[in-house]
Each structure stands twice: as structure tokens, then as C-alpha cells.
Structure 1
Amino acid sequence: MFPNDKLRTIFFWTIEALALACLIFLVFRFDFLMHPIAVFANTVFMPLLVAGFFYYVLKPILKAIEKIRIKNWQMPRFLAVWITFALFLIVVGGALVIFVPLILNEITNMINAIPSFIKHVQDLANEMVKEPWFKRMNISVSDTDIKTSVTKYGTSVLSITAGTLQAVIAGATSFTINALMVPIILFYMLNDADHFLPTVKNFFPKSKAQDVFELGGQLDKTIERYISGQAIQMVFVGFAMSIGYWMTGLPYIWLLGFIAGVANIVPYVGPFIGVVPAVLVALSISWKMVIGIVITMAIVQQVNGSIIYPALIGKSLKIHPLTVMLLLLGAGNLWGIVGMIIVVPVYAIARTIILYAYKLHLAQRKEQSVSELTKKTLDNE
């Protein structure tokens, strides 16, 4: 039936893949079975994701503390873990005590200022309509039209704000549970991370175990460099933008700086998204303030793009900016903002696996170990 063994193998695995796809499709059609599984997965996934993020942020600190040596005394790992975890709790606790009240107070003030903001926009629109250059455009706009439009969009802003607050209140219970679970999961990650790869290695045959171990190590380094680099970038951009907003006289500097820092997690596009709220607030005050905000963003992003990003992330991922833009475009259309956040690290992980598999294939052809081939490649670079 088959001319050679290769075609028979391909046919066998094709049938297996189709059967598995059909099984998955049928299982997902049973909502009564999948709904509890989906709820359980979502409940467990979020604390694991947040704890994993903090783990990779703290991992370089843990390594540095482990290297501490005083004469003949070497820092034991369990003590390094406890010190790292204590530093994490101190920093998070300090941030909650200092910055959270400031941000909540600024959110309250901003919500209270929305009616005056709407009135200010109405006044600006009325003044713009009376300008000679606007009259030469032969556009007929009445005061009633301006008032109706501004009120309509202002009501939309209020409804969006109210909906967001309701969502925050509704998710308070879930957040509290996650907040309690994340430190526990994080501690065990810090304490037992060194045992993970050796344990996984034992599930594979001896001929493949070392290759799996080295691939896991490379993936671990890729994720560590990306997440720790992104965390440093977010903190830098958040504080730098807050200082810049303060220098321009903008209100709500900590809230707007926090938004700018968090938005920076999306490469290239994030900085523009993060500065939009600041520009809207500045528009309600003066045009000069908008210019100051644009200059602030340009300086901060220049420092971040020229110094921080290349030093922390650029050299490790080696992803072309055009590739990143295409990934963001596709992921944004398919999965929204969440897709834009995760697409770059997922691509970096997939790229690491593919390159390692290719090196493994070359090593098998040349009867070399993949570690020797990897070392040779690094020496050539």
C-alpha cells in the first residue's frame, strides 16, 4: 500500500492528529463538562501567571544573594530564598501603603472633575467656532450642537468610568483570593524552582534527557531576561513619566504615570497608548501642557529605547522590530490587548524551541552533542 516506511509513518501520524482533533472538538461541544473546567483553569491560571511574573523578576535578585560569601561562609539557598521573599513583601507592602492611597485619591478627584472637564471642552469648542480660520471653512455649527455632542461624549465617559468601577468592585473578591494565593505560590516557586528541570528530565529516556534539560534551561533564560527587563522598563517609564508630568504642571501625576508604565509592557505601541489619558487631561488645561507631555514622552522613550531596552531585552531576544510590529498587528486583531502583551514572549519561546530543534538535528547528522554545537555557535558569534 505504501511505497516506503516514511510515507506509512506520515499517514499514521496524520490519522492520529485528525482523531485527536475530532476528540477535542467533540469534548468542547459539551458545555456542561467544559464550563467547570474552564472556570477552574481561569481561577488557577491567574495566580500562577502573576506568581510566575514575580518569580522571574525576583530570580536575578535571588541569584545575587546566593553568591554572597563572607570568608568561608557561603549563603545557603533556603536563607537566600527567605531574604528575597522578605524583600518582595517589603517592597509590595510599601507600594500598597504609599502609592495605592495616592492613586485612589487621584482617581476620585478625576471622577469629580469630569463635569468641569466637560464644561471646559464646551468653552474651547465655542471659542474655536468663533475663530476666523474656522469660519472660512464654511461649517455651520450651533451652540446647541456643541453642547449636545459634548454632553453625549461626556455621558459616555461617565458610563464607562462607572462600568469600570462596578467591574472593579465585582472583582474585589477574586482579587483578594488571588492576592493571598500569589505570595504562597511565589514562595514555593523560589524555593523549589531548581528541582523542576531535573524532575522533568527524569520523565524522558536517557538519550534525550540531557537535550530536554538544556532546552529547558534556554527557555528559562529567555523568559527571565524578557520578564525582568519588562519589569524594569515599566518601573522606569512609570516614574520618569510621573516626574515629567509633575514638571509640566499636570495633575494626577501618579495615576497617569502608572498608566504609562503599565502600557509600556506592549512593545512600540504601548507608549502611545499610555500617554493618551495624559494628553486628554492636558487638553482640558492648556495647549502648552500638551507640548510638554509630548516632549516628556519623547525623552523618556529615547532613553528607554536607546539604553534600557537594548541592555536588558534586545540582545537576548534578537527579534527584528518589523517582526514585533507584525506580531502585534496580528495578535491585536485576534486577541486584543492581552494578545499584544503575550505575543512577543510566546514568539521568543517558540523561536528558542525551533532553533534548538534545528541545532539538535544538525548535531545528530554530525554525530555531535547539541551542547557542543551550541557552544561552537556561541564561540563563532
Structure 2
Amino acid sequence: MSLQRQMGFWMAALAVLILILVVLRPILLPFVAGMALAYALDPLADRLERLGLGRLVASLLILFLFAVVFIVAIAALAPLLGQQIALFAQSLPANIARLQELFLKASQSAQLGWLRDMLGTGEAGGSTSFSVGELVGQAASWLAGVAQSVVSGGLALVNFLSLLVVTPVVAFYLLNDWDRMVARIDSWLPRQHAATIRALARQVDDALAGFVRGQALLCLILGLFYAIGLTLVGLNFGLLIGLGAGLISFIPFVGTILGFLVAVGVALAQFWPDWLMIGIVIGIFITGQALEGNVLQPKLVGEHVGLHPVWLIFALFAFGYLMGFVGMLLAVPLAAIVGVLSRFAVRQYLLSSYYTGTGGDSGKPVA
């Protein structure tokens, strides 16, 4: 089969796959979540198998322990988080009004004239008030739009219930049959290119394992650190803000920045003019960033996962826009696959006559 025909076949297969994902995206969430859970737990199942347990027993034991931990965590945190979410939404208008008042006072201060120039000129109730109110209104509208997009994209009530019910079942069957499925897919590979495809698959697996498993643990540690730290200093909604900042840290820099802005805004509304307490809140996030950059990121994620932060952020936003929450779940593996294939294509180009200018390719495909 010629190279052109092979490329046409694989491009057609990719187009069909994308079409299926787009058409079926309203029902994909529990299946994608189950697949992600099975993938994350497969190394543990393999280890239990090496200790003498059968695959079926290992899968049942792992999912049982996971379900127990999940249920205990939900039972412990859901009432408190639900209460904080309700109180946060209730106090949001008052906090916005308080921040607007602080901005107005600061803009009229002789020492902070630059703030008046940045926000607009005028006295209280003039264009400065309009500028701050417009800024806050735009931010609130953006946050509401993001929340609505997430909910409509996959976390509506019916889908959420199906997520809780169907995901463990899908994860169990996939985890139990994981090795057999991999072996079956391997048997379908074109024999001429099987070694190259296996090498590329190993690179994709290394990138996913390094990022997904490491980043998930990193998010959990950061969330606990921020939640405990903000709660201990007495910040209102500290548990909610801290856990949210940690979980959103799956998107590099975004979680920390959003958590920092929300925490500082709440701290200003709550503690002003106590700069010591505001400084402590800022210091918690600075410490968290230092812990993430110098300890957690190198140890848990590593430096060679092959996913550039800019490419990862773009993939998360692009797939999240196209497919909602399901797209965000698929963004990391798809970004890893595209990254590995792109690097492979560049290596093949550097070996080809298109680059070297010779009469033919200089060697076989290399992984």
C-alpha cells in the first residue's frame, strides 16, 4: 500500500472517530470517566497480580477501596462545602460592593493616584465608579458563563447521576479486561509498522502516566494545603477556595491565579485594613507556588512528560469549548497523542529527502 493510501486511510479513520465523539458527546461522560479511572488504577492492579491475586479479585478490591474512600470524602466534605457555596453566593454582592468601595477610596488617595488614572478619572460616583462596576460586572458575567458552560456540557443532574452509577461499572469491566484489550488491539496492528506503533504508544503512555497521575496527586496536595492554610487563618470560605484552587491546578497556572484572586478579594473585604492578615493569605499562595515548582512538580510530574504548558492550556480550552466537560477529560490524552505524533513526524521529516535534498529517504521510520 502506498504512503498516500495509508495516510488517506488513517485520516479517514481519525475523521470518523472525531465525528463519533461529537455526535455521542452528551452520553460519553461516564464512559470517558470510567476509562480514565481504569487507566489510572491499572498499575495498581498489575502490582496486586504480581503479588498473587487474580485480575478479577484485584479489580474488585481496588474499586471497593476507591469507592469507600470516595464515599467517606463526600460524606465528610459535601455538607460543609455545600454550606460554604451557598454562603459564598449569598455574600457575593456584599463583597463586591465592599471591594468597589475600597477601590474608590484608594483611587482618591494622593498616594495611589496611579490607580485613579488606570481605572478612570472623577470623584466618587463618577466615571471611576462606573469603571470599577463595569470591570466587576464583566468578571461576574464571565464566571457565570463558565459555570453555565460546565453544567450544560456534562454536569447536569441526569448526567451527574449517571456518572455516579455507570462510571464504577465501566471502570470495573475495563480494569478487569485491560490487559486482554491491549493484547487484542496489538494483534490488529499492521505487522510492517507494529514496532513503530508500539514505540509511539509507549511514549504516549509515558506522557499520560507522568502528567495525569502525577498532576492528579499534585492537585490533591495543593488543594489540601490551600484549604488548611486559608481555614487556619480564618478566611471566609477558606475550605471552598483552597480546594477549588487545588483542583483547578490541573490547568497549569490557572488554578493558582484564580484561587489567588478570589482569596485576596475575600481577604480585602474581610480583613481590611489589617494588612498582616491580607499578607498571610498572599503568603500562603506564594508558599504553595514555591512548594509546587520546587518539590511537587519535579517529584510527581517530572520534567520530561512531553506536554508543554501552553499546548496543554490550549487543548483544555479548545476541547472544553467544543465538547464541554467531556472535552476537558479527553484534552490531555489527545494532546499527548498529538504531541508524540508531531515529534515523530518532525523526526521523519529530518530523515527524508524533503529535508536532506537527497534522492531518497535516509532510513527507516524511527520512534
> Which of the residues 86, 93, 105 maps onto 1:115?
93
Q: Larger relative CO (CA 8 A, sep 6+): 1 or 2?
A: 2
**Contact map agreement 1:129 1:135 (CA 8 A) in 2:** yes
- 1:132 Cα shift? 3.4
C-alpha distance in structure 2 between counterparts of 1:265 and 1:103, whole Å: 20
Greater Cα shift, 336-345 or 88-97 = 336-345
- The alpha carbon displacement at 1:276 in A equals 2.1
Specify the SS of the correspondent of 1:275.
helix
Q: 1:16 to 1:121 in 2, by over 3 A?
A: closer
Q: 1:281 to 1:194 in 2, by over 3 A?
A: same
Quick check: 2:56–2:176 contact (8 Å CA) kept in 1? yes
- Aligned residue for 2:158? 173
What is the identity percentage for the equivalent residue pairs of Structure 1 and Structure 2?
23
Q: Is the 8 A contact 1:197 1:213 kept in 2?
A: no
Question: For residues 305 and 116 of structure 1, do their structure 2 counterparts lie closer, same or farther at Cα, with a shift above 3 Å needed?
Answer: same
Deviations 1:258-306 (A, max 9, x none): 2211221112444223322212212212344442232212212222222
In structure 1, the partner of 2:311 is 327
8 A contact 2:244–2:259 mirrored in 1 = yes
- What residue number does 2:122 align with? 140
Preserved CA contact (<8 Å) 1:56 1:228 = no
Gap regions ≥5 residues in structure 2: 352-360
Partner of 1:223: 208
Among candidates 55, 60, 70, match of residue 82 of structure 1: 60
Aligned residues: 339
Question: TM (normalized to structure 2)?
Answer: 0.74
1:292 aligns with 2:275: no
Q: Which residue of 1 aligns with 2:78?
A: 100
Q: Which residue of 1 aligns with 2:356?
A: none
Q: 1:141 to 1:38 in 2, by over 3 A?
A: same
Question: Which is further off, 340-349 or 113-122?
Answer: 340-349
What residue identity is the alignment partner of 1:327? W
- Residue 125 of structure 1: how far off its partner (Å): 3.8
Higher mean C-alpha displacement, 96-105 vs 305-314: 305-314
Q: How does 1:232-271 map to 2 (within 5 A)?
A: 232-271=217-256
Q: Is 2:298 the counterpart of 1:310?
A: yes
Equivalent residue, structure 1, for 2:355:
none
Q: CA deviation at 1:111?
A: 1.4
| Deviation of 1:325 (Å) | 4.5
Tell whether the 8 Å contact from 2:319 to 2:330 is kept in structure 1 after alignment.
Answer: no
The residue type paired with residue 229 of structure 1 is G
TM-fit CA distance, 1:102: 1.4
Instruction: Name 1:349's counterpart in structure 2.
Output: 337
Answer with 37-46 or 153-162: which moved more.
Answer: 153-162
State the alpha-carbon separation in 2 of the partners of residues 329 and 219 from structure 1. 18
Query: Which AA in structure 2 matches 1:46?
Result: L
Deviation by residue 1:87-122 (Cα, 9 ceiling, x = unmatched): 111121112211122111111111121232234234
Question: Which has more radius of gyration?
Answer: 1
Give 2:69's aligned residue. 91
Cα distance in 2 for residues equivalent to 1:57 and 1:205: 28
Q: Give the whole-Å Cα distance in 2 for the aligned partners of 1:256 and 1:15.
A: 48
> For the residues of structure 2 that align with 1:240 and 1:253, how far apart are their CA atoms?
11
TM-score between the two structures when normalised by the length of structure 1: 0.71
Aligned position for 1:63: 46
Q: Which amino acid aligns with 2:301?
A: I
Gaps of 5+ in 1: 1-7, 29-33, 69-73, 375-381
Confirm or deny: 8 A CA contact 2:235 2:267 kept in the other structure: yes
